[in-house]
Amino acid sequence: MKSQADQETLERILDESRGIRGVSLWQDAWNRLRRNRTSMVSLYCLIVLAVLAMLTPLLPLQSPIDKDLNNRRFLPPNFQSVVMGSRPGLKFEGGTLTGQVAAFESALDELRAQRDKTNDTTEKLKLTQTIEQKTVVEHPFNQMWNELGPVTWWMCETRVAVFGNYSLPSVFGTDKLGRDLLARVFWGARVSLIVGIVATLVSLIIGVSYGAIAATETTTGGVAYLAHVGGFAAGVIAALILRPQMGDEPDSVLHRQYERDPRARRIW
């Protein structure tokens, strides 16, 4: 009788277990995160900031590097739009970025026409080098933005094609050199986010490896030091690698990493 009752209980438990759907650790973590409203709001804000940072070259922002020491130093937040390339010191054609780009392209077209007409190989090579040098040194984009990579250059071209010379007002004001703070915040966010992501991934790999070694070895002092140094080195290496592509200033990237991570002061 008891055996039969135990069997019925076991069958009932088995029937109930078949109806239970298990969840993975990732699903359980996600479900708990979704129930926390503060965490979800923070996640959405982080996603918005990350998307805006990646799309910064497409946004109608002012130049992050153009300085105006005479008229725009320490300006308070304002809502007056700025025409790209209107600063007199730039001496852009028509006082606009699009005007200067058109004039620059016209000058390049003349050089290309001369190159195509000549039959002298030496002269043709010289003209080709002149065109490449003018594009690198004298292009108006290089006066508005700093060290653009191929993708960022294309995005800036799209920005100029869509928005023209229009720029958002200096809603954050300007700094001591007359540079727009809103533009500098957006362009700086691109570097900070990518450096942070890369450094976190590298630190994760180092941490997992160190944990695996610590689980099997009794002396991990040397490994711990290497992991300690590698955690900071990941951020510095990421900054050095990504700086040319993102167009930020190298000193500012390393300085921020130095100030943020106390390990840097001990290593340096």
* pLDDT computed for residue 205 by the predictor: 81
Residues 6 or more apart whose CB falls under 8 angstroms from that of 96 comprise 83, 84, 85, 86, 165
Could you give the angle at the alpha carbon of 208 between the alpha carbons of 201 and 264, nearest 5°?
Answer: 55
Rounded to 5 degrees, φ, ψ at 75 are -70, 140
Strand, coil or helix: 174: strand
The model carries a pTM of 0.71
Strand, coil or helix: 234: helix
Point out the residues of the chain with pLDDT beneath 70: 1-2, 19-20, 22, 214-268
- Beta carbons of 130 and 140 less than 8 angstroms apart: no
Q: How far apart are CA 110 and CA 117, in angstroms?
A: 11
Give the distance, in angstroms, between the CA of residue 21 and the centroid of all CA atoms in the same chain: 41
* pLDDT computed for residue 232 by the predictor: 61
- Beta carbons of 145 and 156 less than 8 angstroms apart: yes
Give me the count of residues in the chain: 268
Q: How far apart are CA 64 and CA 48, in angstroms?
A: 21
Identity at 168, one-letter amino acid code: L
* pLDDT computed for residue 254 by the predictor: 43
Segments making up each domain of the chain, as ranges:
2-54, 61-182, 187-267
* pLDDT computed for residue 248 by the predictor: 44
Tokens of 52: 């805006």
* pLDDT computed for residue 243 by the predictor: 56
* pLDDT computed for residue 251 by the predictor: 44
* pLDDT computed for residue 6 by the predictor: 74
> With the C-alpha atoms ordered 68, 182, 146, 177, is the resulting torsion angle positive or negative?
positive
* pLDDT computed for residue 222 by the predictor: 57
**How much is the CA Rg of the chain, to the nearest whole Å?**
29
Tokens of 12: 């009932």
- Beta carbons of 101 and 201 less than 8 angstroms apart: no
Give the distance, in angstroms, between the CA of residue 233 and the centroid of all CA atoms in the same chain: 19
* Residue appearing with tokens 């080709």: 128
Give the distance, in angstroms, between the CA of residue 153 and the centroid of all CA atoms in the same chain: 14
The β-bridge partners of 82 are 167
* pLDDT computed for residue 241 by the predictor: 62
pLDDT tens figures, 136-190 = 889 999 999 988 889 999 999 999 999 999 999 999 999 999 999 999 999 999 8
